[in-house]
Structure 1
Amino acid sequence: MSTTDLPTTAPAAPLDLGRAVLPPLIGSPVERIDALEKVSGRASYAADSRLPRMLYGAVLRSPHAHARVLRVDTSRAERLPGVHAVITGADTAKVKWGAFRPDLYPLALDRVRYVGDEVAAVAARDLETARRACELISVAYEPLPAVLSLDEALAEGAPLVHDDAEGNVAHEFAFDRGGADDWFERSDVVVEGVWETARQWHAAIETIGCTAEWSGDRVSMWVNTQTPFLARQRYATALGLPLRAVRVVQTEIGGGFGGKSGDDNTSVICAILARRTGRPVQLVNTREDEFLAGRPRIPMRYRVKLGFTASGLVTAKDIEVTADNGAYTGKAQAVLGAATVRHDALFNYRAVKAHSRLVYTNLVPTGAFRGFGNPSADWAVGQAWDLAAGKLGIEVPDLFLLNAVEQGSVSPHNHKITSCELKQCIRKAADAIDWYGKRAHPTPHRGLAMGVSVHVSGRRSFGDYDGSSAIVRLTEDGRAAVIVGEGDIGTGARTTLAQITAAELGLPVADVSVSRPDTDLTTHALGALASRVTYVAGNAVKRAAEQACGRLLEAASRQLGRPASQLWVEDGVVHGPAGPDGEGPVSSPVGTVVRAELYRPDGEPVVGVGSFDNPSEFPDQSRYGNESGAYNFAAEAAEVEVDPATGAITVTEFAAVVDCGTVLNPPLAEGQVEGGIAQGLGMAVAERFAWRDGAPARPNFGDYKLPTAGIMPRTLHIGFADSYEPTGPFGAKGVGEISLDPVPSIIASAVADAVGVRVHELPITAEKIFWGMAPEGAPPGTADPVAQDARSAPPPGGADPAPRTGAGAVRPGTETEGDDR
């Protein structure tokens, strides 16, 4: 097929990005406003809450993956001195709840559906007594057949995890946009493969926790949730209460990563215990609780098929995604949607086709995790692109550049790209790692790979709204108080909002305070999800600050005798020019202006109110719709070295370049990129459990290996594209998640380039690589699936891998690489 056979998919005429002259504060390394609290130990986390007469809670969990609960005897636990209440499912509102598909009871009623399902709970005078009481609860179970894998769950006649989910399918959708099958018929090169991801736990330094207290028929909950307003709605449902009866206050959060989105039962159980005892109760997960009943990353199985012309232009993509939901749904339905469509905004596909299913199993429920489906998609689709580059004889960066979207592009799902520097990211990442120099002078057992990703800056997921609102109040002492409900999960979001406010008002950042979320006192917010806080909340805060500044200057105009249009604020002082009659320049501290405006007849406070709704569309059932107003992009590259004697991997060099629009605070942005790379490497090479009877065999950090300094690259390059998002606050977009997304795919492809072994199932362990290199292959049951990568496998005799460029790389007709597992 020649290039001229393809319809044009060139972007529309370049948009006018409307770059503004940025205040000096924007782009400066501003110190975090919560730094002193944290380093001094004054920050109050979930477990630090203390209320008079407070009790402590513990939960009894199911030891069975699937069983009928015949009876629960709590009498011995209730007689234990120090125990104030023991509750079971009979003490709950018996209402199912969940973000998208209500399928979860606060405590089990008739059945348990995974090892870790909540059966009963205790409130006692101290933790030791509460945990001892749980051991005294006697539960009679009737074990039921369980489905402990995707294949078991989908088998004909399989036991149902939920009786109302036929075939154990919790959610399913499909589409074919552009006629993919026809495009495959017209393609010169086709690559195919099957890849699988695994559960990955958030492993935040702080576990999930709540303190609850009732006042009459109303409960206040101090929770380390990322989404206080959304969590309040779900908690009210689970408790059988009207929304007005629930107040949620966000505590300090020791890391969220999606795991503190309010999809688990911990806070609901805490509130029930507090109501039953009439006293405040605190319930904080142990690390074992977190591993047994957290909401880890969703394991997914991808079948990927890509088509290309001989010149390297992509034609079509066809994927089939099967996701292991676990026993309950949470946000898995939305994660599956993102994992199916979002990566299609990276390249100019002529057609895309997909069939996705979310499948119930009797395993720990899954949910939101940093990247929200993108890492799983990039793991599979990214490796398929790497295979295609090998078959086409084109260097990966060149293949990406040939097909990458640009400003003005529109994806097959109607994702409208307003700003895009993906090509700049690709070039900068290739230069940073010296891609072409390393290709010209290869090193034995070292391999190169590159990956790209796209993410959102907020997404319309919860009704037809993805907005934020804020109030900025100027005080009589010249400070600004920002009232906003978005919160901070450890990323520095409050500092970013303070920086935006200060830049707009002409105040020092030290003179700006930002509230913590409280559903009684702060403005409505969706919270920290979908890399939305900087873009969405930042715009709302900026608009509120603009309005407050306008009112400040109007007041100053009356006081100083100069037109408001001629006044400006700098370092907390309102300035004006000389007057027309020879008067000199004027000035007045902001606090003086505010006080004079307030303390006068009919005086008014100087307040600004701002709101912003993401300029996006609510996608339909097939995920068609412009889901975000701003998309951020990244290109990352790695060089790895593989020890041929053991299969051990060393990441010798890694480069990441991110397009997040204007970089508001470089140290914060760099920290987000570094942290994402670390979590991506953990997902890629380290994090896994040995499983036994449907649960982690030893749910602790002794057996679950997190990424450490030894895993991190020896050399790490971090850069940002010169970019400006016209709809963002001072041109900014999101940055919190995207750097994680392509890391596992990059490491797998670099290993394949180094020693010819392509791993198809995460994590990428030395054992898999070692047996993949062995001529006889792995002994049965020894290693997880791997495949010899024909395009880079070492020739007989152990010679170095062949270069990935050169003539003759594409054979006539269609080429297909199957799943060689």
Structure 2
Amino acid sequence: MSTAHVPAARTAGAPQAPAPELPPDRAVLPAVIGTAVQRVDAVEKVTGRAAYAADVRLPRMLHGAVVRSPHAHARIVSVDTSLAERLPGVHAVVTGADTARIKWGAFRPDLYPLALEKVRYVGDEIAAVAAVDVETARRAAELVRVEYEVLPAVLSLDEALAEGAPLVHDDAAGNLAHEFSFDRGGADAWFDRSDVIVEGVWQSTRQWHSSIETIGCTAEWSQDRVTLWVNTQTPFLARQRYATALGMPLRAVRVVQTEVGGGFGGKSGDDNTSVICAILARKAGRPVQLVNTREEEFLASRPRIPMRYHVRLGFTSDGLVTAKDIDMIADNGAYTGKAQAVLGAATVRHDALFNYRAVRARSRLVYTNLVPTGAFRGFGNPSADWAVGQAWDLAATRLGIEPPDLFLLNAVEAGSVSPHNHRIGSCELKQCIRRAAKAIGWYEKRAAPTPNRGLAMGVSVHVSGRRSFGDYDGSSAMVRLAEDGRAVVIVGEGEIGTGARTTLAQIAAAELGLPVADITVTRPDTDLTTHALGALASRVTYVAGNAVKRAAEHACEQLLAAAARQLDRPASELWVEDGVVHAPPAAGDDTPVQVPVGVVVRAELYRPDGQPIVGMGAFDNPSEFPDQSRFGNESGAYNFVAEAAEVEVDPATGAVTVLELAAAVDCGTVLNPPLAQGQVEGAIAQGLGMAITERFAWADGAPTRPSFTDYKLPTAGVMPKLHVEFADSYEPTGPYGAKGVGEIALDPVPSIVASAVADAVGVRVHELPITAEKIYWGIHDPDGRAREEGESR
């Protein structure tokens, strides 16, 4: 076997160059690791050959449309589908009566595939139509007549929690979907010993994923079994939930992942689109395709959860943090999805950043008659950092300590253990803080301040996978060597645009000694690939990467054993490089032995009792399943970031411009620098959208114009000058020292923009987004009543 981090294919006999730039406890990394390898899907995407959800074409395929509620809360008196059914070209109309009448959901089953008796938000699905084309389906949907009895609705957290408030769900007293609390370390005693205490209330808002591709599905039945082609991030997990919603055994549902045009948590399989598509296809007796319009995406997908935090922090006079206390309320919307898990992460994860002596929290997830919420890149961290990060900035001001210095004084290091038993392995948070401060020119700008310009810094921590779905956060893979010299990596994790298939191909290539071009990574298919949890929690590189690495090691062992038999040489003398098995010259012969991998594989197969070369590998995240109060080491590897921003504020208008933003990321070994750089830059862009541009005007429980006309994504003109750096870091449990990078850089952005505005003009915004109007009134009428813009639902 290979020594750590060196491919099994090159463990003996192969010349290996020294690498003095690496610490002595690290072995030499293969050349393909840390290299800007071209994405394996690049040609398909730039030529338009990549097949997304709307590109699926099946014989006799119909198209679907959904009838949605115009009311936030109403009783369904009757549904008349007769006009729609008579429209030429219509093949099926379904309502709740055509469903299994089973509630489903990832953690709290509370959602019917089509509404029964009640609708609970504007956009709730009531009926659906399948027709020969999209236009006919939409016309038919407009012909479905629904009679409603409008009911009182709760359209905010305060309304939902008010005494005697209407219930969104009759089985959720007080409109509470979930709550938990803890006090670890005795917070009151530590606050009593604190010299400085800061506190405040901050509220985040809904943010939509706004992927370039909307949610879509194509369904086809074969007798009593349905195949779903879906742009989901989590094919196997989605399959389990779809089977429940359809009232069918798991074996009756097959999910095939199409190309995914961006996910960001929004394609985790928590919405009804695929289930409705399957119900339509069953009734029509033909394949059906259902793809959301952009308006539907805004009305009925699962945006980021708005959260209101009351934060209290204690410190000694010399800057050591003592205690943290938060009281957090999250707006679940009408249905739960993954919101319960998001609530937990938003409550505890940031406690793994600093050496808190005590932490206390009370967290509540509250039903409202608004669009359901769910997973979004960062999974609760951005909302937590928005509030807690600003409290730390306030503390730095009160203590008279520069934020980078305050962070360095309190930051965790390798070996630290959080109050929730998060056990920190590799950790270069302090290195990140120093690098971000240097990149932004922190101390030079402090020495020569510019009027109306402000600086701020924030930090965050994220997981590399998390045990959320049963006591398992693993992955498995198979690597099959083909007689043409290629390798096929069979793995069910999938690709959502991040470059995961490329990274997994690099790992396999490094272990097998093959060029990346000779590695094929399969797409997920619940019938054909190994079981996988999918693209969530920044887990694919770390968890699936380890599984692929082990499978490739296993395949390479078999390859070398086969070559040893064929060449009559000890396997210890052989190695693989560039797709060729090498052996030193035989005694008395100066000619080196070189046999293509395909020749060895074919010879091993085409012989008496021949065998294919197939490697198996599995890896389970070395973590714990947290208890109900979120105590437990939820991940085997934690990634960190420090970010600093400089903004300029126009005091005449309140307009804010983010001039520079520096991000220093600890993600272990960077396997593919351009891919990692792209993940950081994209995350920063989404963070800026959350901070300053993305909002709706609301009326009667819904956005007034659910389109990009009102909802402004950050464009190139909004982006600041970026400084992106990666810490010199190595995670011993990761593949070649790598850990997650996909989400972490989004987390601190809203907080540091707000704190930089406060540094520039003395106005601290407490409710997202950070608009010119809020800043203007903070400057010109700081003692006036709060002026809200109505976009904070």
2:477 to 447, 470, 478: 470
Matched, 1:255 2:262: yes
SS of 2:92's equivalent in the other structure is strand
1:484 aligns with 2:491: yes
Letter paired with 1:608: G
Structure-2 residue corresponding to 1:92: 99
Q: Establish whether residue 365 from structure 1 lines up as the match of residue 359 from structure 2.
A: no
Matched, 1:668 2:675: yes
Q: 2:759 aligns with which of 744, 750, 753?
A: 753
Query: Is the 8 Å Cα contact of residues 562 and 579 (structure 1) preserved in structure 2?
Result: no
Instruction: Please say if residues 695 and 791 of structure 2, whose CA atoms lie closer than 8 Å, have aligned partners that are also in contact.
Output: no
Structure 2 counterpart of 1:331, from 338, 344, 354: 338
SS at match of 1:72: strand
Aligned twin of 2:732: 726
TM superposition shift of 1:723: 0.3
Match of 2:764, SS state, is strand
Tell me, in whole angstroms, the C-alpha distance in 1 between the residues paired with 2:790 and 2:334: 25
Structure 1 partner of 2:748: 742
1:309 has 2:319 as partner: no
After superposition, residues 467-546 of structure 1 pair within 5 angstroms as: 467-546=474-553
1:763 to 759, 769, 792: 769
Any residues of structure 2 matched to 1:106-125 within 5 Å, and which? 106-125=113-132
Instruction: Please give the root-mean-square deviation of Cα atoms over the aligned residues, in Å.
Output: 1.3
Q: Which amino acid aligns with 1:185?
A: D
User: Which AA in structure 1 matches 2:636?
Assistant: G
| 1:387 pairs with one of 394, 402, 415 | 394
Give runs of ≥4 in structure 1 deviating > 2 Å. Answer: 16-20, 578-585, 775-786
Partner Cα separation in structure 1 for residue 667 and residue 540 of structure 2: 13
Inter-partner Cα distance in structure 2 for 1:566 and 1:312: 59
2:627 to 620, 627, 630: 620
Alpha-carbon displacement from aligned partner over 1:352-375 (angstroms, at most 9, x marks no partner): 000000000000000000000000
| Partner Cα distance (1:71, 1:121) in 2 | 15
C-alpha contact (below 8 Å) 1:347/1:403 kept by paired residues: yes
Q: What is the deviation of 1:670?
A: 0.1
Q: CA deviation at 1:566?
A: 1.8
State the alpha-carbon separation in 1 of the partners of residues 206 and 744 from structure 2. 19
Pair 1:343-2:350 in alignment: yes
Q: Partner of 1:70 in structure 2?
A: 77
Partner SS for 2:706:
coil
Where 2:559 maps in the other structure, the secondary structure is helix
8 Å CA contact 1:768–1:784 kept in 2: the answer is: no
C-alpha deviations, 1:702-757, integer Å up to 9, x for none?
Answer: 000001111100x2100000000000000000000000000000000000000000
Structure-1 separation of matches of 2:239 and 2:618: 21
**Equivalent position SS for 1:757:** coil
- 1:413 lines up with 2:412 in the alignment: no
Distance 1:638 1:102, change over 3 A: same
Task: State the AA in 2 paired with 1:70.
Answer: V
Work out the CA distance in 1 between the residues paired with 2:139 and 2:730.
Answer: 58
1:574 corresponds to which letter in structure 2?
A: V
* 1:9 match: none
Q: Deviations over 1:251-291 (max 9, x none)?
A: 00000000000000000000000000100000000001000
Structure 1's 44 and 539: CA in aligned 2 closer, same or farther, altered over 3 A? same
Q: Deviations over 1:296-351 (max 9, x none)?
A: 00000000000000000000000011000000000000000000000000000000
- Deviation of 1:560 (Å): 1.5
Secondary structure of residue in 2 paired with 1:381: helix
Separation (CA, whole Å) in 2 of partners of 1:374 and 1:779: 30
Aligned equivalents of 1:354, 1:85: Cα separation in 2: 50
1:53 aligns with 2:64: no
Q: Secondary structure at the match of 1:513?
A: strand
| Aligned equivalents of 1:60, 1:347: Cα separation in 2 | 49
Q: Is the 8 A contact 2:52 2:260 kept in 1?
A: yes
Match of 1:141 among 133, 136, 148: 148
Q: Partners of 1:451 and 1:562 in 2: how far apart?
A: 58
Deviation at 1:585, TM superposition (A): 2.9
User: 1:586 aligned to 2:593?
Assistant: yes
* Segment drifting more, 568-577 vs 257-266: 568-577
Note if contact 1:58-1:130 (Cα within 8 Å) is conserved in structure 2: yes
Aligned partners of 1:119, 1:19: CA distance in 2, in Å? 59
Give the Cα separation in 1 of the matches to 2:639 and 2:511. 24
Deviation, 1:579, is 3.2
CA contact (8 A) 2:698 2:791 kept: no
Aligned partners of 2:464 and 2:24: how far apart in 1? 17
The DSSP-based 3-state class of the residue aligned with 1:212 is: strand
Equivalent residue for 2:326?
A: 319
- Corresponding residue SS for 2:217: strand
Q: Paired residue for 2:405?
A: 398
How far does residue 582 in structure 1 lie from its aligned partner after superposition?
Answer: 5.2
Provide the rounded CA distance (Å) in 1 between the counterparts of 2:519 and 2:585: 30
Q: Is the 8 A contact 1:227 1:486 kept in 2?
A: yes
Aligned to 2:452: 445
Aligned equivalent of 1:610? 617
* C-alpha deviation, 1:20, in angstroms: 2.6
Which residue, out of 562, 565, 588, partners 2:572? 565
1:772 equivalent in structure 2: 778
Percent sequence identity is 82
Measure the CA separation in 1 of the matches of 2:750 and 2:464.
Answer: 22
1:349–1:124 CA distance, 2 compared to 1 (3 A): same
> Using the alignment, how far apart are the partners of 1:398 and 1:783 within structure 2?
36
Q: How far 1:586 moved relative to its partner?
A: 1.6
Q: Establish whether residue 377 from structure 1 lines up as the match of residue 384 from structure 2.
A: yes
Report if aligned partners of 2:94, 2:127 keep a CA contact under 8 Å in 1: yes
Cα separation, 1, equivalents of 2:47 and 2:790: 46
Structure 1 contact 634–738 (Cα < 8 Å) conserved: yes
Cα distance between partner residues in 1 of 2:427 and 2:593:
44
Superimposed CA distance per residue, residues 429-487 of structure 1 (whole angstroms, 9 cap, x where no aligned partner): 00001100000000000000000000000000000000000000011011000000000
Give CA-to-partner distance per residue, 1:651-688, whole Å, 9 cap, x none.
11110010000000000000000000000000000100
Report deviation, 1:21. Answer: 1.4
Shift of 1:160: 0.5
Distance of 1:159 and 1:138 partners within structure 2: 26
Q: Deviations over 1:632-653 (max 9, x none)?
A: 0000000000011111111111
Equivalence map 1:187-202=2 (5 Å): 187-202=194-209
* Structure 2 partner of 1:295: 302
SS of 2:148's partner is: strand
The structural deviation recorded for 1:578 is: 2.9
Q: How many residues align?
A: 770
Q: Which amino acid aligns with 2:30?
A: P
| Separation in 1, partners of 2:649, 2:129 | 51
The 1-side partners of 2:464 and 2:420 are apart by: 17
Could you tell me which of 107, 112, 116 is aligned with 1:105?
Answer: 112
C-alpha change, 1:131 and 1:666, in structure 2 (3 Å) is: same
Check the 8 A contact 1:17/1:725 in 2, yes or no.
no
Unaligned runs of 5+ in 1: 1-15, 787-821
Give, in whole Å, the separation in 1 of the partners of 2:566 and 2:459: 55
Q: Which residue of 1 aligns with 2:234?
A: 227
8 Å CA contact retained: 2:332, 2:367: yes
Tell me by how many angstroms 1:561 deviates: 2.1
Q: Unaligned stretches of 5+ in structure 2? A: 1-22
Residue aligned with 2:404, SS: helix
Partners of 2:148 and 2:357 in 1: how far apart? Answer: 55
Q: Distance in 1 between matches of 2:781 and 2:128?
A: 55
Tell me if structure 2 keeps the 8 A contact 1:17–1:726: no
CA distance in 1, matches of 2:665, 2:639: 8
Contact persistence 1:17–1:724 (CA under 8 A): no
Instruction: Find 2:279's aligned residue among 269, 272, 282.
Output: 272
Distance 1:780 1:726, change over 3 A: closer
C-alpha deviation, 1:781, in angstroms: 4.2
